[in-house]
Amino acid sequence: MTTDDTRGLAESLSRELRHLVLLLRRTTAGQPITTQQYSVLGSLEGGGRRMTELAEEHAVQLPTMTVQINRLEEAGLVARAADPADARVRTVELTDEGRTRLYAVRQSRIAYLTRQLSTLTLEERAAIDVALPALAKLGRS
């Protein structure tokens, strides 16, 4: 594959990913919290995190993340806690309600994708399945 081919592939991939993300965001339209806030909830799924880590992961400034966390805390979806390794540091973790809400959103998105995938041919679904490891590698680099 030439550099031009790679650039064209990158442009196409960017365009199609954007469309897919927008479609998935529609599954949560009208909810009381934003898609960005759901993304933060997903970042907390593995356990408590420092605010600075969350801000870095989501490519926002710390004050912006603080506003998001404050709203999620007011909604009862996250709670602040002391960092076990350093009592001076506060972490943020999911509440039971936050975990329940995150799971519901994820199930809604999976149901949407299931319906959409069922409209594709077996060959199209197989092509997506084959591409998933490469897409996962791109997303983790």
- Residue 44 C-alpha from the chain's centroid: 10
Residue 91, strand partner residues? 50, 81
The pLDDT value recorded for residue 114 is: 95
What's the pLDDT tens digit per position in 39-55? 999 999 999 999 999 99
Place of tokens 């998105």: 109
Gap between the Cα atoms of 102 and 75, Å rounded = 13
- Higher-scoring residue by pLDDT: 35, 15: 15
What's the pLDDT tens digit per position in 54-109? 999 999 999 999 999 999 999 999 999 987 778 788 899 999 999 999 999 999 99
User: pLDDT band for position 120 (50/70/90)?
Assistant: very high
